[in-house]
Structure 1
């Protein structure tokens, strides 16, 4: 089974092919992985913006809709993708979650943000 590694937290998860990066992140959220998804993962916002650092050639090309949404994202790079749109194939992926997405996650989970701030955690991780 392929795995997705989230380098921000050095966490990996094995997933079935066809699982999105966002779904993989939700499986390991309790281990610190934070990927925003304000629209619920329907390609209507850019809060699940990630960088596919390894394995990008093994996934489908972005749709025109995804490219349009990425135009609204911050710090877009050649390996930028929306976590809700990238389905894992048969190969492992290494993903970096954008600071924009981590911030969005904390905005969506204010209680967790307040707890992390009280502990002095770096919220940009």
Structure 2
């Protein structure tokens, strides 16, 4: 099974960690299955950007983005060239390194 290395995030994964995920699993599902409570306000239906991640290694091994994901990512906080919605990014056979951005657009959770 591929390994997903999660870089440290102040609240969700302070020390960083590595997890395994079966091929065909979304990054979001893999994180949640391993106790990393990434936001997913739309219940993984590709209707928000709260599960936005930056794929630091292994980006090209993921499935191609569809138009909906591309459009939504334009609204994500801290968007980078290797950004994905973790609910739409499907793990293949390649190990990944993932960074969870500090903020989301979920203003209720961010206390804005």
Instruction: Verify same fold: TM over 0.5.
Output: yes
Task: Quote how far apart the aligned CAs of 1:34 are.
Answer: 3.4
Task: Quote how far apart the aligned CAs of 1:61 are.
Answer: 2.0
CA distance in 1, matches of 2:18, 2:109: 24
Structure of larger gyration radius: 1
**Contact 1:49 1:100 survives alignment (8 Å):** no
Structure 1 residue ranges without an equivalent (≥5): 109-125
Task: Quote how far apart the aligned CAs of 1:100 are.
Answer: 2.2
Runs of 4+ more than 2 Å apart: none
Task: Quote how far apart the aligned CAs of 1:17 are.
Answer: 0.2
1:94-113 equivalence runs, <5 A: 94-101=97-104, 104=106, 107=109
SS in 2 for 1:57: helix
1:1-125 equivalence runs, <5 A: 1-8=1-8, 9=13, 10-29=16-35, 33-101=36-104, 104=106, 107=109
Structure 2 residue ranges without an equivalent (≥5): none
SS in 1 for 2:103: helix
Q: Which has the higher helix share?
A: 1
What is the TM-score with the length of structure 1 in the denominator? 0.76
